[in-house]
Chain A
Amino acid sequence: MESISLFKTCENIGLLLNANAKKIRKAYEKALKSIGGNAFECNLVLVMVKK
């Protein structure tokens, strides 16, 4: 999955895991706070599932 920012990466992962937008926002902000509030660059995630 390609995204335009870490937030959008998290949004895509969250949607994939069936979370709603509000929950995704809350989870993202808590996670960001845990690393001092500075987002790192992550625009690409490989997701693998067993078929």
Chain B
Amino acid sequence: MKNIYFIEAKSPGSHIFSFTALPRLGSILLATILKDRGYNTKVFIEDLVAPDWKQLEDADMICISAISSTAIHAFNLAERFRNLGIPVALGGVHSTFLPDESLLYADYVVRGEGEETLVELLEHLDAGKPLDSIKGLSFKNSKHEIVHNPPRELLKDLNEAPIPDFSLVYKWAEKAKVTPVATSRGCPFACKFCSVIPMFGRQYRFKSIERVIEELKAASSHKGHVFFIDDNFAANKKRTKTLLQAIIDNKIKIEWSAQVRTDVAKDTELLDLMKKAGCYAVYIGFESINPATLSLYNKGQGIEDIENSIRAVKGHSIRIHGMFVLGSDTDDIQTIRNTATFAKKLDIDSIQFMMLTPLPGTPVFEELKSSGRLIHTDWSKYDAHHAVFEPKLMTAFELQVETLKAMGKFYSWPAIFRNLSQFDFFYAVVGLYGKKSIRKALAETKSYVEQLKESISAEFDRKTGKLRQYIQQRHGKSKNIILNTAALEKNESTFFSIYLSYLDKELIVDKEDFKVQKNTIAITPFVEHIKSRQQQGKQILSEFYETHKDKLASTKVVNMESIYIKTNWLPQKWSIWNQYRSSKHARTSDCF
């Protein structure tokens, strides 16, 4: 094998920073390693410029890097090249955590950090050696069985990897406006929605100061901006200060930005050094202004930290790009609206309101998957600009619409004119681009928003076997709703009474009578504080039935979630209900 070409698959949609393509470093670094070993390598970054497809057809192997949002496009590319008889290796975060899926489209999956795995793969293929000793590799054996070799340990010394050679990137000199530089990997924090820790570990590994300075000297020769691609540039403040001082001492003239946490603001010396070393802007993951959400995310910061960091960073004339993640289990519509107001009030320069996205490999993904709350796995929508799961306190449709509205509120004409009046042309342009990208996003997501809206009732009908239609036909004119639970307290009665009155239904509280009349629908809410939190719904219903079985003697019970499965619509473990369902008494009314 001689020609090993890399493709970084393009993003599916646009966002606020689409106009400054920011390549990831993985493909460039791997191409550099292979070049140093005598391979002919080239990197094609689709977000930068369309690849030279003709040249790619000369490849002996194609390596495609993808994150979740670019995975489907990466799979299409993989199929395209495999159809030409070119073997394909997939790598990146998405394939690392879902290798079986990737092996439907590719020959090999390089899981985790690929510096050593890819080299060994090529060496083994060239020598015709078996692949089962290559750590971090997944592949199909001669029997077409999927084999996952044991994981590879994380690189211990980041200095071992060469300095990325950007000349290997197709049309880099002409097109690139931003040069990514990595000084570290990993993050000592544990935010639940982030895939950095499962991919790169919690241990913070970093390059030596001398090595970073060498990379920065190389980067400074290329006009443009440097972006420190580290997940947390100031995770070790002492080391960051040493690095910044070295940039100043070496007289490296660069304008740069980096991702940091709010805790940078607590260290004035650090902020002073950042400014002196050429820091133009920082990207801060504020994530939320809802304290419950910050705690839920394991973010380890509060609202005061956010406010103080904005003041301190702006006080040092460093720009802020604030990033918020909306849609947690403790966020409702008002949280999203308040976040937009907050961002405007504190005068953040630019923002991104992203929707919580359950990325494979993260705790959030596992939680939502196991509770059946993922709406779909169309990975192209896993880009933080689409609602892809069922939130707890709003509908997915509301999350989608309200997030776009919040973006629109921030990138407003008054804000653009204010920047213009202050001769701040860059952020005036960012504002204009923000407005344009919101318009584009609205157009791009129009059909998706419609689908989300329609799915609310469609999904309900699917789960309930069109019970709604049945009730409307038989009980459509029922005005009376009987609320009959023995333990419902005043607050809950008031709540349901008012709620149902807005739906034009009258609530009749009847604590004892479980008889269902012809023109009534009876509802019995089970309020959790009266029961143990540990109890499952089925247990609670079983106990309820035991308590009131004399009154419920003639009821037939149907589990609403399972009714559509005609052959086995009641789970076996609901033994009490199963026994009862098959009894001759199950006739008079249906309970759902």
Contacts and interface: CB of A to CB of B under 8 A. Distances in A.
Nearest to A11: B395
A47 B592 contact: yes
Contacts of B556: 51
A34 B495 CA distance: 7
Nearest to A34: B498
Contacts of B561: 1-2
Interface residues of A, number: 42
Given A31-B496, A50-B517, A51-B588, A12 B398 contact: no
Given A35-B495, A44-B537, A51-B588, A21 B525 contact: no
Contact of B527 (A4, A12, A17, A41): A41
B503 A23 contact: yes
Contact of B460 (A5, A12, A41): A12
Nearest to B395: A21
Contacts of B491: 35, 40
A12 B462 CA distance: 13
Given A45-B525, A46-B523, A47-B522, A15 B494 contact: no
Contacts of A30: 498-499, 502
Nearest to A9: B525
Contacts of B329: 5
B555 A48 contact: yes
A43 B395 contact: no
B58 interface: no
A39 B495 CA distance: 9
Interface string B316-345: 000000000000010011000000000000
Contacts of B211: none
Interface string A5-49: 101111111111111010111111011101100011111111111
Contacts of B496: 31
B573 to A, nearest CB: 14
Contacts of B505: 17
Contacts of A2: 537, 560-561
Contacts of A13: 499-500, 523
Nearest to A21: B456
Contact of B468 (A15, A23, A34): A15
A45 B561 CA distance: 12
Given A47-B523, A49-B474, A7 B392 contact: yes
Contacts of A5: 329, 392-393
Contacts of A40: 491-492, 495, 527-529
A15 B393 CA distance: 16
B146 interface: no
Contacts of B592: 1, 46-49
Contacts of A11: 395, 456
A49 B471 contact: yes
A2 B460 CA distance: 12
B235 to A, nearest CB: 35
B397 to A, nearest CB: 7
A18 B457 CA distance: 9
Given A16-B471, A40-B529, A48 B392 contact: no
A16 B461 CA distance: 9
A49 B525 contact: no
A15 to B, nearest CB: 5
Contacts of B566: none
A12 B523 CA distance: 12
Given A8-B392, A21-B395, A47 B499 contact: no
A33 B540 CA distance: 28
B526 A44 contact: yes
Contacts of A25: 333, 398
A19 B456 CA distance: 12
A4 B393 CA distance: 9
A21 B392 contact: no
Interface string B549-592: 00000011000110000000000000000000000000111111
Contacts of A41: 527-529, 533
Nearest to B592: A47
A34 B497 CA distance: 10
A45 B527 contact: no
Contacts of B503: 14, 17, 19, 23-24, 27
B128 to A, nearest CB: 54
B514 A15 contact: no
B248 interface: no
Contact of A48 (B371, B499, B514, B526): B514
Interface in B492-537: 492, 494-496, 498-500, 502-503, 505, 514, 516-518, 520-529, 533, 537
A15 B589 CA distance: 20
B291 to A, nearest CB: 15
A49 B541 contact: no
A45 B523 contact: yes
Given A21-B453, A34-B498, A51-B588, A4 B541 contact: no
3 nearest A-B pairs in the assembled complex, by CB-CB distance:
A41-B528, A27-B502, A31-B499
22 contacts: A4-B371, A5-B329, A7-B394, A13-B500, A13-B523, A15-B468, A18-B471, A18-B476, A21-B453, A27-B503, A30-B499, A42-B492, A42-B526, A42-B527, A44-B525, A46-B592, A47-B522, A47-B524, A48-B589, A49-B589, A51-B556, A51-B588
Given A12-B460, A47-B524, 16 more contacts: A1-B464, A2-B537, A2-B561, A15-B468, A16-B471, A18-B471, A23-B503, A43-B526, A46-B523, A46-B591, A46-B592, A47-B523, A47-B592, A48-B591, A49-B522, A49-B589
